[in-house]
């Protein structure tokens, strides 16, 4: 058996040394530090530079730490870490002091790597401009979908194509909750409690279950996909608190799964021109790729004119997966320091208008309690026709409720939301309709 050659690494001192500062030592920061130390030779070979961690900024020096984090590197002087290194890794999260520290790092000439989606969604243009003014790199792969390389794909791999839509599951906590409700028949509150016990959900789950985390990611995705500045306030958001076990059962009866989706669409038709960005629960047909994304996984489906459909799938959260994305950016930034070159700058040349929620194109599933009498279906079909909405399917339950109502479920063809909403209001006003039980969007066809 032929002996395989062993990999060779540059000997210590053969490669230039880059100083690395880490802001934050939580779950992700701990993994970043551990891997940088344990695999120092590999990272030197990949980037052309040896990376030396000079400081790890934390709020509380005395808090318990993972043994992987050398205590001698800990400091509570975050400004010194931000301004005294070649590469700065920001993993604090939130808006402040992260924003101030990143701007200070750029002013000091450092390249910055972050996973802070809330900050980028709120202050992205300011940060892009600061990086450009300093001539340094700004990387943020870990800000969207953890280890899934969505940012790289949109910012670099798709630069030669024209993206038309992005549809994704970008929050692992909500996908876990909806998946458990779907497979085990549990209520939202039951699954949320389990998710908190397992560490999937925070003690305050607002950012996840109200869709705010997904909305920040959707803003970043849309900005990259459509070369247009999209902020958090431009995203229409609905969370999953209102989802019930009945909603899940009705989805299954329609051959669908219920998912929290981030959706970014480019519209150029007779009704609208611009970008629509939204986050909301939606029914996804069981044969659609996103319907089979289970647990806390993330998946993003990109549609482009030349490439067609591309899907990215993987772990969207957790220390090690997110650290993987951070370190890919660290290697790229270090290589630029050694060999020249720079990260892609912000591309916002298209300046497409941001469309309101009424301009989105989608399908609705509408469940009604109606008068169980001849002519009821014809009357409801007339309401849809009057509002320029085409019906895809109709399903009537085999039973009649105690008050003599029939339960009917309509699924529409795609239509602008303002037409769909008008049809729903028309149904509410109809003498034949006793109750509009639920209205859910249907995506993925």
What's the CATH class of domain 152-314?
Answer: alpha beta
The residue written with tokens 């109502």 in the block is 405
- State the binding site for L-homoserine: 202
How, if at all, do strands 391-400 and 433-442 pair?
unpaired
Helix count (H) and strand count (E) of the chain? 14, 17
Q: What was the pLDDT predicted at 146?
A: 86
Q: What was the pLDDT predicted at 41?
A: 95
DSSP string, 404-426: SEEEEEEEEPPEEHHHHHHHHHH
Tally Cβ neighbours within 10 Å of residue 131.
24
| CA torsion angle 425 426 429 434 (round to 10) | -90
**81-127: per-residue pLDDT in tens?**
999 999 999 999 999 999 999 999 999 999 999 999 999 999 999 99
Which pair of structure tokens corresponds to residue 355?
A: 């469309």
Q: What was the pLDDT predicted at 390?
A: 96
* E-assigned strand segments in 122-270: 138-139, 163-169, 236-237, 256-268
Q: Do 360-442 and 17-146+321-339 have the same topology in CATH? A: no
How, if at all, do strands 415-416 and 361-371 pair?
antiparallel
Work out the angle between the directed axes of helices 27-38 and 319-339 (0-180°, nearest 10): 50
Which pair of structure tokens corresponds to residue 255?
A: 């051959």
* E-assigned strand segments in 44-94: 50-57, 74-75, 87-90
Which pair of structure tokens corresponds to residue 293?
A: 């994304």
What separation in angstroms does the CA of 425 have from each of 39, 128, 243, 384, 435?
A: 61, 44, 21, 10, 11
**20-65: per-residue pLDDT in tens?**
999 999 999 999 999 999 999 999 999 999 999 999 999 999 999 9
CATH of domain 360-442: 3.30.70.260
Which pair of structure tokens corresponds to residue 147?
A: 């280890």
Give the DSSP letter of residue 343.
P
**331-377: per-residue pLDDT in tens?**
999 999 999 999 999 999 999 999 998 888 899 999 999 988 888 88
Which pair of structure tokens corresponds to residue 135?
A: 């001539």
What 3-state DSSP class applies to 267? strand
Distance of alpha carbon 32 from alpha carbon 327, whole angstroms: 7
Which pair of structure tokens corresponds to residue 334?
A: 């270090």
Alpha helices in 276-356 (DSSP H): 319-339
- Enclosing H/E stretch for 57: strand 50-57
- Considering the four listed CATH numbers 2.40.480.10, 3.40.50.720, 3.30.390.10, 3.30.70.360, the one that applies to the domain covering 17-146+321-339 is 3.40.50.720
Tally Cβ neighbours within 10 Å of residue 287.
11
What 3-state DSSP class applies to 387? coil
Q: What was the pLDDT predicted at 254?
A: 87
Answer yes or no: are the C-beta atoms of 145 and 330 closer than 8 Å: no
Least trusted range by pLDDT, from 6-15, 37-46, 143-152, 204-213 = 6-15
What 3-state DSSP class applies to 147? coil
Which pair of structure tokens corresponds to residue 399?
A: 């039973």
Catalytic residue of the set 107, 184, 217, 259: 217
Distance of alpha carbon 415 from alpha carbon 335, whole angstroms: 48
Q: What was the pLDDT predicted at 392?
A: 92
Q: Is 217 a catalytic residue?
A: yes
- pTM value? 0.90
How, if at all, do strands 111-114 and 87-90 pair?
parallel
- State the binding site: 23-30, 117, 202
Beta-carbon contacts of 87 under 8 Å, excluding residues fewer than 6 positions away, are 18, 19, 20, 21, 51, 110, 111, 112, 113, 330, 333, 334, 337
Answer yes or no: are the C-beta atoms of 329 and 89 closer than 8 Å: no
Distance of alpha carbon 441 from alpha carbon 241, whole angstroms: 16
Q: What was the pLDDT predicted at 200?
A: 80
pLDDT of 259 above 80: yes
pLDDT, the chain, mean: 92
Q: Where are the domains of the chain?
A: 17-146+321-339, 152-314, 360-442
């Amino acid at each position: 058996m032929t002996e395989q050659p062993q990999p060779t690494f540059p000997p210590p001192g053969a490669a230039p040394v880059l100083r690395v500062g880490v802001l934050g030592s939580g779950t992700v920061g701990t993994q970043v530090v551990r891997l940088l130390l344990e695999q120092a030779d590999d990272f030197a070979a990949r980037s052309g530079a040896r990376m030396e961690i000079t400081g790890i900024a934390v709020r509380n020096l005395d808090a318990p730490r993972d043994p992987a984090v050398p205590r001698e590197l800990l400091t509570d002087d975050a400004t010194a870490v931000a301004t005294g290194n070649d590469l700065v890794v920001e993993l604090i999260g939130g808006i402040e002091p992260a924003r101030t520290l990143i701007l200070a790092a750029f002013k000091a000439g450092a390249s910055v790597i972050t996973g802070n989606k809330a900050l980028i969604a709120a202050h992205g243009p300011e940060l892009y401009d600061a990086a450009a003014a300093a001539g340094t790199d700004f990387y943020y792969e870990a800000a969207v979908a953890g280890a899934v390389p969505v940012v790289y794909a949109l910012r670099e791999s798709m630069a030669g194509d024209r993206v038309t839509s992005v549809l994704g599951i970008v929050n692992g906590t909500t996908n876990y909750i909806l998946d458990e409700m779907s497979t085990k028949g549990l209520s939202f509150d039951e699954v949320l409690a389990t998710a908190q016990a397992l560490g999937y959900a925070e003690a305050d789950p607002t950012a996840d279950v109200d869709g705010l985390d997904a909305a920040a990611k959707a803003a970043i995705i849309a900005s990259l996909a459509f070369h247009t500045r999209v902020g958090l306030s431009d995203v229409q958001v609905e969370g999953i608190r209102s989802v019930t076990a009945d909603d899940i059962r009705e989805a299954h009866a329609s051959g669908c799964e219920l998912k929290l989706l981030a959706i970014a669409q480019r519209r150029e038709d007779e009704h609208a021109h611009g970008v629509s960005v939204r986050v909301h629960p939606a029914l996804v047909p069981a044969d659609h790729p996103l319907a089979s994304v289970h647990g806390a996984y993330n998946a993003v489906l990109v549609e482009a004119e030349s490439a067609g459909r591309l899907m990215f799938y993987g772990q969207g959260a957790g220390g090690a997966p997110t650290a993987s994305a951070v370190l890919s950016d660290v290697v790229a930034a270090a290589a630029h320091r050694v060999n020249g070159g720079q990260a892609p700058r912000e591309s916002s040349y298209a300046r497409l208008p941001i469309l309101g929620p009424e301009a989105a194109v989608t399908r609705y599933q509408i469940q009604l309690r109606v008068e169980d009498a001849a002519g009821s279906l014809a009357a409801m079909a007339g309401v849809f026709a009057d509002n320029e909405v085409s019906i895809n399917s109709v399903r009537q339950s085999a039973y009649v409720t105690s008050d003599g109502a029939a339960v009917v479920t309509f699924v529409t063809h795609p239509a602008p939301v303002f037409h769909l909403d008008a049809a729903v209001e028309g149904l509410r006003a109809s003498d034949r309709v006793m109750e509009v039980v639920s209205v859910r969007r249907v995506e993925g066809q």
